[in-house]
Structure 1
Amino acid sequence: MATASASIEISAPPEQVWQLIGGFGSLPDWLPYIPQSELSEGGRVRRLTNPNGDTIVERLIAFDQAARSYTYAIVRAPFPVTNYLSTIRVSETGGGRSRVEWSGEFTPSGVTEQFVTQLFQRIYTDGVNALAARYAAKH
C-alpha cells in the first residue's frame, strides 16, 4: 500500500474553509483540475470530469461535519491504482487559522509504487496550493 499527503495552513477560520471545500460536490469551487462534478445516489457518489475529458467516479465513505472531514474511494478513474482511499480534513491551528490536509492510500496497478506516490503527491500538493490561492482570491 502506497501513501501520499499534503497540507497547508490558511489564514482563515476552519469553519469558513470547510464551507468552501466541505461539500462532496465542491471540488470545482477550488480545484482547477476538476472543472465539473455531478452528484448522484443522494450525494454519495460524484462523477468528476478533468480538463482532458476523463471521468473519475468516487464514492463518499465517511463524512464528519463536526470534525470537518470526509473520506472517499475511487470507483473508476484513469489512475493506475486500486484500493484508493483518501481523506480531506480541515483543522483549527489557532489564531483564526486552519490547516487543510489531503491524504490517501492506494495500491499501484501496473506501475511502480514510486510512480503513483509521486502522482498523488503532486495532485494533493497542487490541490492544497490551489485551495490557498482560491480562498485568498474569494475571501
Structure 2
Amino acid sequence: MRNLFRPAAVDEPLDRADTSLVVVAESGDEAEASSAVLATSAWRVDEEVVLRHVLRLPAQRVPDAVATAALSGYRRLDSGPDVGPEVADANMADPTVTVTLARVQMLDAVHLSQERSRMASLGSRHGGLVVGWQVLQRPVGDR
C-alpha cells in the first residue's frame, strides 16, 4: 500500500553514475554546433540531464584537472565505456588516460556550448584534449 503513495522515480534526482541512463545526444566533432546536435537528437528540453565530457589527459595531470572540474560541479566517473588505461597517444608527448567528467544540470544549446568551451579550456590547460561529449537522460518509459 505504501508504494501507491510514493513519489514517482522521476522525482528522484539524477545520479551521474546511473547506468540506466541513455545517451540522447552526443558528438566527437569539436566544430559541430551544440544547437545542431540537440535539434536532431532525442533530448527532452524540460528534463534534467547528465552532461558527460570525455578528455584525453596526460596521466600526471589528471588529479589537477579533476580538482579544477570539481569546482564547477563535475565529478570523474570511475567506470564506463569511455574510461581506459594509459596509452601512448601520437598527438601527445606523455602517456595519456581517458577521463570522463560528468554533472547533472538543466540544459539548452547555450549552456552546452559554454560547458564544451569550459572543457576545451580545461583540457588545453592540462596538456590534453576533449574527445567528445554526451547528454544522458532517463529512458522515455521512466519519465
Q: The TM-score by the shorter chain falls in which range?
A: 0.3 to 0.5
Structure with greater strand percent: 1
Higher relative CO (Cα under 8 Å, sequence separation at least 6) belongs to: 2
Question: TM-score when scaled to structure 2?
Answer: 0.33
After TM superposition, the score normalised by the length of structure 1 is: 0.34
